[in-house]
Amino acid sequence: MKEFELKYGCNPNQKPARIYMKDGSELPVQVLNGRPGYINFLDAFNAWQLVKELKEATGLPSAASFKHVSPAGAAVGLPLSETDRKMYFVEGEGDLSPIACAYIRARGADRLCSYGDWAALSDVCDADTARYLKGEVSDGIIAPGYTEEALEILRTKKKGNYNVVQIDPAYVPAQQECKDVFGVTFAQGHNDSKIDESLLENIVTDNRELPESAKIDMIVALITLKYTQSNSVCYVKDGQAIGVGAGQQSRIHCTRLAGQKADNWYLRQHPKVLGLQFVDGIRRPDRDNAIDIYTSDEYEDVLADGVWQQTFKVKPEVLTLEEKKAWIATQSGVTVGSDAFFPFGDNVERARKSGVQYIAEPGGSIRDDHVIATANKYGITMAFTGLRLFHH
């Protein structure tokens, strides 16, 4: 296939639209089901690069959940804990494959933002992953291959219209990439910067302790940021992005946004949240929305008389502000990455409130000394990578 005609571009009025290779060669993808659109392919190609690099860097099956050309979540295929299974509602699923665990954890970073996502897998999609995806609201998936059973399951999704794309894992893009904006062509070298443990050797803080688990988390953060619309900050724990702040003009706003998402992820592990008793047959999106509202300042919207009965079997107790603060204060072992330097120590101050103990950022600010001093104040380990990761 040398060309694929799209329904329209970013918006319905942007026609005609297509994807093709400028040199006239074959596209590196096959559409096995559905009819992906312009934004679908933007998500698919960015997401594929992320999971491919993450697998190469860690050796672990990797997955991502993309929305509007930024990851809502990304993760490596570590086993799900009992708490994970409760959080992601897969308690009765038995043993799950590593690639299924990777996607479940990737989508679990921010289930609201993953609503209608594009899924990406570093490994062949198996039946475990396909069965999980079938129950989620998702626009499509890209993977290097599919088992027959997985493909059969996915082809029943969305009344047979679910987008399934297979990519050639051996495909290497051209060294120069171009795009047109306002009729002007931009050209630059492809960002082939390699992210691995060698970037983490320049530890600039008094605390130089950096366990292997934190190194993996730093790599997850940095590779996630490489494919996140800038400015961006990413919080990671146990090989899973738990908060991504994308596209903010101010660095501190990225840190706050991603930190709030990390806090929300952790609040979903609160005993009151895990103990919520939902009505039978509730749809996953309705359940996820209810949890989001319940843990927010707008909790009365789901707990009011005459309203809570639509969602819960038993009226939940309020999760108070004091309880939320106390719970978030117990979070620890979190890593944060930034796609460019922290200009002020306020980013470190905000990050440590969400349990951050490890930081990876490029360095290079005229206030690096202040940022380092702030990290030292809290015993945080910080590595300067020297690598900026802007993505637009």
Report the catalytic residues: 67-68, 231, 392
Distance CA 293, CA 229 (A): 27
Classified as helix, coil or strand, 209 is: coil
Q: Which two tokens stand for residue 42?
A: 């933007």
Question: Cβ neighbours of residue 212 under 8 Å, at least 6 residues apart?
Answer: none
Helix, strand, coil in percent for the chain, rounding step 5? 35, 20, 40
Structure tokens at 101: 């665990």
CB neighbour list of residue 235: distance below 8 Å, 6 or more residues apart: 221, 241, 242, 243, 244, 258, 259, 261, 262, 334, 335, 336, 351, 354, 356
Beta-carbon neighbour count of residue 312 at 10 Å? 18
Across 129-274, the runs of DSSP E, i.e. the strands, are 138-143, 163-167, 176-181, 184-189, 232-237, 240-246
Specify burial of residue 353 (Cβ count, 10 A radius: 0-12, 13-18, 19+).
middle
Buried b (16+ CB within 10 A) or exposed e, 120-140: bbbbbbbbbbbbbbeebebbb
Residue 348 near residue 374, CB atoms below 8 Å: yes
